[in-house]
Every structure is written in C-alpha cells, then in structure tokens.
A and B are shown apart, each in its own frame.
Chain A
Amino acid sequence: LLCVSPTVSLTVFQEMEDKVISPEKAEEAKLKARYPHLGQKPGGSDFLRKRLQKGQKYFDSGDYNMAKAKMKNKQLPTAAPDKTEVTGDHIPTPQDLPQRKPSLVASKLAG
C-alpha cells in the first residue's frame, strides 16, 4: 500500500483553499506576475509621493522665451497646432502640456 503523506495532501488542500477564499490575494498574484519589480512596501510611500507631486510640470523659462521670440519672426501656421502631440521644436506652454498621469508601474525595461 502506498500511503500519501498526510502533510503533503494538507498543503495542497490549503493552497487551493487560499485561492478559493481570497480573490484579493489572487489579484495580487496576478499583479506581481505582470510587474515583478513593483514596490516592495505594499501601497505605501510611492502612492503618497505621487499624490503629493500632482501638478508638477517641467517648464524651462529660457526655452519658452526663446521659442516665443522665434515664433514672432516666423509665419504662424493657419491651422491650429495639434494639441495632443508635443514634438519637434515646439516648446510646450503650460496650457499645451497633455494631462498625463505618470504611471507608478515601472517599465519592464527598467532594472
């Protein structure tokens, strides 16, 4: 007779129980699988710092003023510039900056 060790079967049973009992833990596992480098401390300082930094925009007054001076000499295009794209040598003004929330989830490229 081959007896299955009682401790082994108990462990298997408990793992299944966890998955059944806690949808939250299952979601956590899903998240950790997608973003393995996600913050060591659960829901802590990263979120708070992101919250406190809301509204931070990076603005260089020198570039802004130089671009304004350049624009004066150039012929302004008749069509309104595409507000969703900020590329090339168009210096963004505070109004133009797209409302983009910085993601807390690190890129998979980052260490």
Chain B
Amino acid sequence: ADIISTVEFNYTGDLLATGDKGGRVVIFQREQETKSRPLSRGEYNVYSTFQSHEPEFDYLKSLEIEEKINKIRWLPQQNAAHFLLSTNDKTIKLWKISERDKRAEGYNLKDEDGRLREPFRVTELRVPTLKPMDLMVEASPRRTFANAHTYHINSISVNSDYATYLSADDLRINLWHLEVTNRSFNIVDIKPANMEELTEVITAAEFHPHHCNTFVYSSSKGTIRLCDMRSSALCDQHSKFFEEPEDPSSRSFFSEIISSISDVKFSHSGRYMMTRDYLSVKVWDLNMENRPVETYQVHEYLRGKLCSLYENDCIFDKFECCWNGSDSTIMTGSYNNFFRTFERDPRRDTTLEASRESSKPRAILKPRKVCTTGKRKKDEITVDSLDFNKKILHTAWHPMENIIAVAATNNLYLFQEKVN
C-alpha cells in the first residue's frame, strides 16, 4: 500500500475517497445496517479502486510530474452515478463512478459469450431482457483539465453553484467550468514581475460553502485573503485581509516558516473559517479581520525543537484540519501518529493515537498525553521519543455523524463514536 495523500468524505458520508502517492484512488462505501449483520453498520469496505494519475516527465522543462494525488473533492450527487475531482501537481480529472448490476441477455446477433451468430441461424426475433448480475463498480475519466498550471496545484474546491470549481497553485488560482476543459479563467495571480521579489506563495484556497461569489486563499506568510468575484474579473485586490498581529520582539528565523498556513477550511455554517499553521489551529470569524476568535495549540512543545525539525524538514510538513458536521469540534493531526480534537464550547481537547497497537476493532481509544515537563508519568510520552516519521497530515470528518477517517502514512483508520 502506498502513502495516503488525501482523504475526503462525500456529501452524504456514505462514500470515503482516498488518494495516494502512486496516483491511485480507493473509494470506500459504508455498509448498510441489516438484520443479519447488525454490527457491521458503520463499517466501510472497498467500493472501487482505480488509477487516477500516472507519472509524467515534461521533457521541455526537465520537470518530473508526480502522480501523487494532492486533493480529491466530491461533486454533489445529481443522478445514480458519483462524480469526483482528483488532482496531482498539474492536471485535474473528473471521474465518474457508476454501478452496473444488470446485464442484457438474449441478443439476436450474438451469443451469450459474445461470438457473432451465423445470420441463417437466426430464425426468430427476441427482445433482450435485463438480468441481474454481480455488482460491478466502474470508474471512468470524464474530463481532463490540463495545461492551466505552471506551478504545483495545492487545492481544488467545488463551488456551491455546482457548475464551477477553482484550482490553486503556488502563484495562481484558476476558475473552471465542469463542462469545459479547453478554457480556464485566471482569477488570482500573485506572480511578481521579477521573481527575485517573490515573498509569498498561495498555500490553500476554498470556495465559501454558500456564497458562490466568495472564496479565500491562504499564504506562506500566515495571511488569508477573501475575494469576491463580483468586484472584478481578476481578484488580485482582496475584499478582506485576515492577519493576526505579530509581536516584533518575538520574531525569529522560524517565525515566517511556522506561520505558513497549510490548510484553510470554511465552517459548514459559512460564518467561520479555520486555518492550520505549524503549531496551531485558528478559528476566524469572517467579520473580524484583525485576529482569530479562537486559537488552539496543537503541539506547542515543538517550539523548543524547531532547530532539529528544520534540519529534518519536518517544519515544512503540511497538516490539514477539519470541522465536524455541526462545527462544534475541529480536528487535526500531529506526530507519532497522534491526532487532536478540540471541542470549541466548552473547550476540551483530546489527543488520540492511530496505530495498530492502540486500535483493536471495537476497542475504545485511550487518550494520549505528551509529557512536557521533566517528570514523566506512566503512559506519557516524552517529546524526545516522538516519532517524527509517523505524521498524520490528512484527516476527514463525516458530514453528519461522528465518524472520522485518519490517514497514518499508508494506513487508513476509521473511528466512530461509541453508540450504546
């Protein structure tokens, strides 16, 4: 199994898609509760697997294009088939996943095994009938949106109009129509005329969940810009600018690096947005630009380890974050296969671990604790014994229920709230 690079529930939560470093997409489907297997409710089983992207080499630019799936975003379901967008660094693809559970039998011109029948043997006309067959799930690429990004795509986001979507790379954001592959509109361009003057890049972008004219994008400098597409065709001028003031005396070499936002997500309500930087998660009220309304420390004890985290490149790890369905709780990953949940009101945080040893099926997860003082209690883990190779970058929360998907390198864990 390959390293999982993205995890996403669909709008109903019945399907869960994962993308990996090898360009593959695996879709899991939730089992329906049945009388014969009451305990299987909530279990997700493999529904479909397909190769979405292949590695490419751009000979003209001497660029290796990884097949790694950076993001998957589902489209809302409009008919029996399911659609999703998956993207690597350069190309976005629209995939259709459909079920086939019937087969036509009784053709006139060919046998059941497909061989053509001799015409003189056809003595009577019959109407083919549909017979049930074993369920077959087919994935087929319906659109390929290519050649619109010079830099590496970090985000895709489907608009609430269900007709357009945006794709963002380090310096530009493009707007697409789902039906049109040969044209894309550039809506944000922060590339400076002289690349020597480059000071920040786009790190994530997302459309507002209800206002189809509004989107946000975050930067490597820890700022978020909200743009309104009604104001102009090119949204280089933001409508709102979110930045927390920094204490200049606390500035260090690491300040900008750790302030870089790795993920931005609107709340389901559309009133708030959440940003993830290296050490914290911040909740912003869209009506207040000068500071976040809530800040949660994910692993503050790493502040005293920044030198070695810089040397082993971990300081550049891009953690994602997510809201639960009611926006009451947020979740994000950390190291040592730990992930954290923060209940917002009243405030309560929990650290859990996604590993084989601590995740026996149906066992309750035990909260974990990192020891930050000298005295280590039993079951606590010291900062020095944390495994920085075991990082949880991707997590997802079911849109309505308390079921979470946690990707730990090449393993996917699904946890659900204990129902008595």
Q: Do A and B come from one complex?
A: yes
Q: Pick from A28, A51, A59: contact of B254, CB below 8 A.
A: A28
Asked whether, in the complex, the Cβ of A43 is within 8 Å of the Cβ of B257, the reply is yes
CA distance A61 to B57 in the complex (A): 12
Q: State how many residues of chain B have any CB contact under 8 Å with chain A.
A: 37
CA distance A47 to B55 in the complex (A): 25
Given contacts A27-B304, A27-B306, contact A57 B64 (CB under 8 A): yes
Asked whether, in the complex, the Cβ of B64 is within 8 Å of the Cβ of A55, the reply is yes
Chain A 66-109 interface residues, beta-carbon cutoff 8 Å to B:
94-95, 97, 101, 105
Q: A61 — nearest CB in chain B belongs to which residue?
A: B59
Residues of A within 8 A of B66 (CB): 55
CA distance A25 to B307 in the complex (A): 10
The tally of CB-CB contacts under 8 A between chains A and B is 98
CA distance A59 to B63 in the complex (A): 9
Residue B310, interface by CB 8 Å:
yes
Instruction: Find the residue from A44, A101, A105 having the highest chain B CB count within 10 A.
Output: A44
Residue A37, interface by CB 8 Å:
no
Q: B220 — nearest CB in chain A belongs to which residue?
A: A48
CA distance A48 to B201 in the complex (A): 7
Residues of A within 8 A of B220 (CB): 47-48
Residue B313, interface by CB 8 Å:
yes
Residue B320, interface by CB 8 Å:
no
Asked whether, in the complex, the Cβ of B89 is within 8 Å of the Cβ of A55, the reply is yes
Residue A10, interface by CB 8 Å:
no
Query: Within the complex, what minimum Cβ distance (angstroms) separates B197 from chain A?
Result: 8
Asked whether, in the complex, the Cβ of B255 is within 8 Å of the Cβ of A43, the reply is yes
Instruction: Find the residue from B63, B199, B305 having the highest chain A CB count within 10 A.
Output: B63
Sample of 26 A–B contacts (CB below 8 Å): A24-B250, A24-B255, A25-B250, A26-B304, A27-B307, A30-B307, A31-B253, A42-B252, A43-B255, A45-B198, A47-B220, A48-B200, A49-B198, A52-B171, A55-B89, A56-B62, A56-B63, A56-B64, A58-B62, A59-B57, A59-B59, A61-B59, A94-B55, A94-B64, A95-B55, A101-B313
6 tightest Cβ-Cβ pairs between the two chains A and B: A43-B256, A23-B304, A27-B306, A28-B252, A27-B307, A43-B257
Given contacts A22-B252, A48-B201, A94-B64, list 6 more A-B pairs with CB under 8 A.
A24-B250, A27-B303, A28-B306, A43-B256, A56-B62, A61-B59
